[in-house]
Amino acid sequence: MTKTIEERLEEQEEVLQLMLTKLQTLENRKIEFPEIRIPNYSNQLEILKKELLRVNHSYPVEKIDEQIARIRKLSDGMPEVVKVRRYHHFEDKSKGFIIGAIVLLLVCCMAVGIAVSMWNENGRLNENSVKFRIIRQGYPNVAYWADATYHRDPEMIKGLTEKLETEQLAAVHAETAARQKVQGAKQHMKKLKQLRNTLKK
């Protein structure tokens, strides 16, 4: 299926012939440029010329020199560094921006506070979750009882739990108070014994 050199040359000649015909059509094509209209400004230029001539005759060169000299005197009298005093004050228009900034600051503070409290609460809930999972692994019957009881009546269990917690806290407080009283009584007894010993001597 290989082509001979003659066949390849013929194909290349055909391609060259096609390209030549396309180039000739492109060369013969006429390019039309849009017509450019330049307006006639001769009247306006003539009016400007007359006005410049009138101004030139009515304003002598001596006056122009005198004005330049005055401007130089004024510029020489001006200091190189001009002292500027700045006054910073709040206008009525800036009240809205200030109030908006304060509101945004308060909202940011509240958001940070809520995020911190939620983070603490999440940590506490994770601890309780781990504790409950440990109980479930060690005492599956107790965990099953807690789950079943909670799903039967969640509100009643919540109230019962809070009541038991308050009773336990009260018992702990009473126990610590009793310990403190016992320790206080022991200290008083020691002091009383020391006083008796000092009186006997």
Residues 115 and 148 in one domain: yes
Angle value at C-alpha 168, between 165 and 173, nearest 5 degrees = 125
95 CA to centre of own chain: 23
Res 25: pLDDT:
85
Q: Does residue 121 form part of some domain? A: yes
Structure tokens of 80? 């190189």
Angle value at C-alpha 39, between 34 and 44, nearest 5 degrees = 170
Q: Does residue 42 form part of some domain? A: no
Q: Does residue 15 form part of some domain? A: no
What is the count of structural domains for the chain?
2
Query: CA 142 to CA 148: how far, in whole Å?
Result: 10
Q: Does residue 118 form part of some domain? A: yes
- pLDDT (tens digit, 9 = 90+) per residue, 151-162? 888 898 888 888
Res 82: pLDDT:
67
101, 90 contact by CB (below 8 A) = no
Res 52: pLDDT:
77
Closest CA to 67 of 55, 77, 75: 75
Residues 116 and 147 in one domain: yes
**Mean pLDDT of all residues belonging to the chain:** 83
1 CA to centre of own chain: 71
Q: What are residue 130's phi and psi, to 5 degrees? A: -65, -45
Q: Does residue 16 form part of some domain? A: no
107, 99 contact by CB (below 8 A) = no
Within the chain, which residues score under 50 in pLDDT?
1
Residues 162 and 140 in one domain: no
Residues 141 and 164 in one domain: no
- To the nearest 10°, the Cα dihedral for 46, 51, 54, 55? -140
Q: Does residue 126 form part of some domain? A: yes
Q: Does residue 20 form part of some domain? A: no
Q: Does residue 85 form part of some domain? A: no
Residues 148 and 126 in one domain: yes
Domain span holding position 172: 157-190
Res 3: pLDDT:
67
Residues 167 and 139 in one domain: no
